[in-house]
Every structure is written in C-alpha cells, then in structure tokens.
Amino acid sequence: MTSEPMTIDATTEFDRQVANLEPAVPDAGRFGALVAPLRDVAAGLGSVEVDTAAGRLPFVLVVTRNVVPIEESMPRTTLHGKKKPGFVDRSFEPGSLERFVAVEELPNPDAYLLFDVERGEEFCNEVPNDAMDVIAKRERTLLTIEEGIAVITHFPEVLVKNKCFSLGGSRCGDRRVPAIWISQNAPKLGWCWAGNPHTWLGVASGGARRA
C-alpha cells in the first residue's frame, strides 16, 4: 500500500485481507465459511478510499479470539517494512487478557467487517476518558483489541511513531484501556490508564460493524 490516498476496489481489498489472515487460522474450512458472506458485503461498497497516512481506512476484516487467540495474532503483526513480530506486553498479568472483552455486542462472535476506521491521532495528549466521550457523542464506536490487531495486520503503515492508538472497545472493568504502540521496534499491545494522557497515543474508532 502506498502512503498516498488511493481508491481501490473493495472486493479486491477484501480478498487481500482474507489472504493476510489465512496463515493464522488453524481451520481453513471453517474460516472460509465464516468470511464468505462478508465478501458480498464488501463488494457492495464498490470503490473505496484508503488513506493510511491519515489513518483512515474504509474497512477491516476482523477475526476474534474465538478464531485466533490474541497471543497468536499479535505476533503476526509487524511495523511497515520491518520483520520483528509484535508482542503482548508483560503488564498484562497472567489471565488478565481474557477479561478484556468487547463493551458492545458484536455482530458475530467470530468474524465481521468494521467500517470507517480512524486512527484517532486528534486525541493524542487528551485524557482517554474525555476522548472516548467525544467519540460516543459522534455516534462512533471504540475499537476492540482484536479490531486494533486487524488494523495493523492489514495496514501496518497506520502504526507510526507518535500516532499510536488506544482500544477502548475492550475493557475489563477497571481503569485500564488497552492500546497498541511501538516498542523495541515492533508493535506492542499494552494498556494505559483511562485518566492519563500521552502525547503519542490517540483513541481509535470505527463507524459501524456488520456481519
């Protein structure tokens, strides 16, 4: 993908994203059955615009931890042009990652499309709680952990220095907000406090989900 805004065919892009995920999926037959109906949904978009430099994406194909565990999907990510695998930070104590679940009902527990994705760098250096309130007023949805992983799996160019993002769509009932940023020259899934702003960390959001 080029860093310049570009218009592409949605069906072709959907097929590319399917191919990105196939190596991680243990059951190819089940995966094919899951995503087959979504291809028609993507095809209905016709042509779409991708602007990775601005962190705006028309859609991403998401598979949840029911299909590929987070501990397996995160190491399959890399920074653009790099090879070092992404990782889950040790600040997630054993067993805690499973408690970070989607705060909104998903259209399908296994696979779906997330539309109109924004990286959310406008919220860098803003208190996450305040930023999440603004996003809610815009009637947009906060990204889950799996959705954030999908973003950087399909569009690694989106994760860049000083434009990383929180994933407020997955919570565990405390003040921690998951986030993906760059550490040790690789993508890292960690968390930050909901009341603490960071100059390099925005809040990602999407327009809608559909299965």
Q: Is the pTM of this model over 0.85?
A: yes
Sheet hosting strand 87-88, strand order edge to edge: 87-88, 186-193, 176-183, 164-166, 201-203
The string of DSSP letters for 173-199 reads SSSEEEEEEEETTEEEEEEEETT---T
pLDDT in tens, 52-107: 999 999 999 999 999 999 999 999 999 999 999 999 999 999 999 999 999 999 99
At residue 145 the predicted structure's pLDDT band, cuts being 50, 70 and 90, is very high
The answer to whether 210 and 112 have CB atoms below 8 angstroms apart is yes
Looking up tokens 């960690």 gives 190
Once rounded to an integer, what is the mean pLDDT over residues 12-30? 95
pLDDT in tens, 66-77: 999 999 999 999
